[in-house]
Amino acid sequence: MTPLVFAAAGGLFPALAGTLNIALEGLILAGAFSALAVFYRTGSAAAAVAAAVFTSTALSLLHAFTAFRLRANIFITGLAVNLLSGGLCIVISGKLFNTRGAVISHNAPGLLGRYFFAGVFLLIAAWIVIYKTPFGFRLRACDKHSEALVSLGIRPQFYQTAAILISGFFCGIGGSYLSLDLGAFVPGMSAGKGWIALVIIFLGRRKPYGIFAAAFVFALADAFSNHAQGIWNLPADFILAFPYICTFLAIIAVSVTTDKKQ
């Protein structure tokens, strides 16, 4: 649940600003690799988290610059970040650690509890920023009322860029959790969590408390599938797919209820 909360909370800001960030997957992976690489060299968990945040935010800045300044399609640039992150982590791993596979640190810091409470705190902070500050009001106005902002002399792209950078900050922390908790970096270890986070944003109806609930449900389904292996006499592939089946059904349920309300 923890990395999903971080990724979804970060992705919430661009979603509310009308610039859905589909680069969450690559940002998480970059954060995971940076954290493990720095922790492997320094043994400092704080430096590892800082490195993860810096790397993911830098990639977010590249993403925003390409989309807004160079006027590239924001979905194409998001996919490019995902591909760049996956390949770059493997190449740098080969240069630093002489391996393109797993990089293992035998003294994992074990920060699970701290990460969870940090995630809850940042989710509450996100709610305050989004709904109780002028920044949040203007951010949400970028989606459907950007012309009103322009008429007031406010540049919507500033807030959209800020939203993407915030998503990089959150994803960096979430990625650092993946590698530091495991004590290793494995290529592709984000394992679709960035894409799942996008689903969680909309399952949670783009609300911080909804994101928390949706992340809990998905994590519960994921934990159930892990424990069900070897207990039920069912194909392993079906059990592993159980969380995604639940997500698919939840998307249908949310779509149906939304249509009825409209």
Domain boundaries, the chain: 2-191
Amino acid at 12: L
Query: For residues 161 and 167, what is the distance between their CA atoms, to the nearest angstrom?
Result: 10
**Residue 232, pLDDT score:** 66
- In DSSP terms, 81 is beta-bridged to none
Tell me what pLDDT residue 31 has. Answer: 95
pLDDT in the model for residue 148: 87
pLDDT tens for the 262 residues of the chain, in order: 889 999 999 999 999 999 989 999 999 999 999 999 999 888 888 999 999 999 999 999 999 999 999 999 999 999 999 999 999 999 999 998 888 888 888 777 766 678 888 989 999 999 999 999 999 999 999 988 888 888 888 899 999 999 999 999 999 999 999 999 888 899 989 888 898 899 899 888 889 999 998 898 888 887 877 777 666 666 667 777 777 777 777 777 777 776 555 5
- pLDDT at 260 (0 to 100): 54
Task: Specify whether the CB–CB gap between 164 and 63 falls below 8 A.
Answer: yes
In sequence order, which residues have a C-beta less than 8 Å from that of residue 147 and are 6 or more positions away?
none
What pLDDT was estimated at residue 203? 86
pTM for the model:
0.89
Residue 101: predicted pLDDT? 82
Token representation of residue 145: 């009322």
**Alpha carbons 173 and 129: distance in angstroms, whole number:** 19
pLDDT value for 68: 92
User: What integer pLDDT is reported at residue 74 of this predicted model?
Assistant: 92
Which pLDDT score is estimated for 82?
Answer: 95
Taking the C-alpha atoms of residue 177 and residue 194, their distance in angstroms, rounded to an integer, is 14
Q: Are 36 and 103 in contact (CB under 8 A)?
A: yes
Task: Count CB atoms within 10 A of the CB of residue 193.
Answer: 24
